[in-house]
Structure 1
Amino acid sequence: MKSDPLDVDFRVCWRPLHRFPSTVDVRLPATLLLVLLLALTLAGCGGGGSGTDDRPPSDKVAYTAWKEWSRFGRATVVYGGQANGYTNRHGMTERSEPLSSRVGEYWGACGRPQWNGTSDKPWSGAFVTWVMVQSGYSASQFPRDGRHGSYLSALYDRERASRSAPFLLHAPSEYSPKPGDLVCSGSAGPTWRYADPRTAHRRIDNTAAHCDIVTDVRGGYVHAIGGNVKDSVAMSLFPVDSRGRLMNVSGRPWLLVVEKRG
């Protein structure tokens, strides 16, 4: 199975309950109680419920990602705390239609239409680029590149060259993500932030591993959708602190947050 760097695969599944239990045994372990509460909460996230994730985001970039997530099964993964890796369901796989051909469309936005879900090419970067193209961003605003490091380092250079750049890069500790932004992990962490421009460019380019598109921030979590997550288009829930800043989680060393301006 191919994956992006640092992608962690979990195999814990949840199936929705048809009715709520009339009583809860308070002697259950705290971890089991937490997972039960998350299962009930994510019932709305996984389709068929009345959760906030059933309502389309108003931001165009977030909405484009949300439509793809809805189209391919609404898989949702929780990161952080005792529930780290909890998954409510698995969406359609990249090796099956219609997602396999759709992956080819994601790569088409990067000039590689011959690659699809069976090509063994990590496609999470292509997914982000496709979403930006579908949302109306030109190549001069967002690079047509399927590798996270390439488009992120280019955005860094464009930000330095113009005060009106449509995307700004922040260290995770200094900015609170909002719908339409990107949350990105990478092995260098936020050390790029205080490096000289040449070193910062190199660290971003060489170490960026994965980015997800933020669709919502609520309940102490950033809700973000990415491609090639669980071999599908999936939503990840990342915990935030009281200021809305990303907290450290296992498997996702935060590199930066990309602010979408306007």
Structure 2
Amino acid sequence: MSVKFVDFEALNLRSKAVLAPATRIGILHLGQQVEELEPDIQGDWVKIKAEVDGVQAEGVVKSVIDGKRSLRDPASASREALVGEAIKEWLRFEKGQGLEHHAPFFDFVGEMWRAIGLDLDGKDRDTPWSAAAISFMVRNAAERFPKYAKFKFAASHSRYMHASIVKRNAGDMDVPFWGFRLHEKRPEIGDIVGRWRETPRDFDDAETSDSFKSHTDIIVSVDSDSVLAIGGNVRQSVSISRYDKTGAGFLAATNGVFMHMVNRT
């Protein structure tokens, strides 16, 4: 047996290796931990044990879907801790369907704000809460891995984007993230994608300033040509976004992406 993680937003667990409604036991979610019991059943199925509706169940899943493996190997424990916190919030917001200003979701947004010392909630819709969400996820990961507590928790993404570059330039080994240009490092789960909003920015801008409109998401899945990343205040919820990669495997400079915060925990 070996530990694996689901690498699709939704993956059918089936009673046997037959694609039919009657064989579906349940649906597994992105980032869900499972136990691989037996690989390569009938060539392209894997037997696993997983939790479905609160109960442990055994069944099979397709091993490859549209050219991508459905299960991935674990990353480091500290990276998995952060990914797990991002997935937890995505699930808490009903996989992106729970809207910020509706109950109980506005209370969840309020939790995120209070964690950085601000008395706001999801009904304060003129104030973006996306940086508060990322700060909340990182802070929760710090309960298991204290290095995350050195994060620059803030209500603005640009604050911690700038700090990650400054700390890298200073060679500060104690912080959880260093900021890199897109061509310098290939993305891994637990890293953070940095984007500009409204006004185009580049890495040099983030190096010299900590005040500009921006957005970040935590990478939770890496494919050959793209990554999936979770962030807050995305479509008024905690949602998944897809980011392109270049042919060389780096984050592509599309949709405002201009920097890459590498997880050093």
Considering the TM-score relative to the shorter chain, is it more than 0.5?
yes
- Paired amino acid for 2:88: K
Equivalence map 1:1-262=2 (5 Å): 43-44=10-11, 49-50=27-28, 53=30, 55-56=32-33, 59-75=80-96, 91-112=97-118, 114-120=119-125, 121-136=127-142, 137=146, 141-164=150-173, 165-186=175-196, 187-192=199-204, 200-202=207-209, 205-218=210-223, 220-249=225-254, 252-262=255-265
- Residue 110 of structure 1, CA deviation: 1.1
The SS at the match of 1:66 is helix
Distance in 1 of aligned mates of 2:182 and 2:137: 22
- What fraction of aligned residue pairs are identical, expressed as a percent? 27
Instruction: Give CA deviations for 1:151-196 in whole Å, capped at 9, x if unaligned.
Output: 222232222333414311011222211111110101444341xx8x
Q: Which residue of 2 is the match for residue 31 of structure 1?
A: none
Q: Which residue of 1 is the match for residue 37 of structure 2?
A: none
Normalized per residue, which structure has more helix? 1
- Residue 219 of structure 1, CA deviation: 5.0
Distance in 1 of aligned mates of 2:31 and 2:151: 28
TM-score normalised per structure 1: 0.66
The SS at the match of 2:227 is strand
The SS at the match of 2:250 is coil
The SS at the match of 1:172 is coil
Structure 2 unmatched runs, 5+: 1-7, 13-25, 34-73
Cα pair 1:178 1:217 within 8 Å, conserved: yes
Cα pair 2:31 2:87 within 8 Å, conserved: no
- Residue 139 of structure 1, CA deviation: 8.0
Normalized per residue, which structure has more strand? 2
- Paired amino acid for 1:200: E
Structure whose alpha-carbon radius of gyration is higher? 2
Residues 183, 139 of structure 1: alpha-carbon distance in 2 compared, 3 angstrom cutoff: closer
Distance in 1 of aligned mates of 2:148 and 2:189: 21
Q: Which structure carries more relative contact order (alpha carbon 8 Å, separation 6+)?
A: 1
Structure 1 unmatched runs, 5+: 1-40, 76-90
- Paired amino acid for 1:147: S
Report the number of matched residues: 194
Distance in 1 of aligned mates of 2:159 and 2:31: 33
Distance in 1 of aligned mates of 2:248 and 2:212: 27
Q: Which residue of 2 is the match for residue 19 of structure 1?
A: none
Distance in 2 of aligned mates of 1:126 and 1:214: 17
The CA RMSD over aligned residues, in Å, is: 2.5
Distance in 1 of aligned mates of 2:250 and 2:178: 16
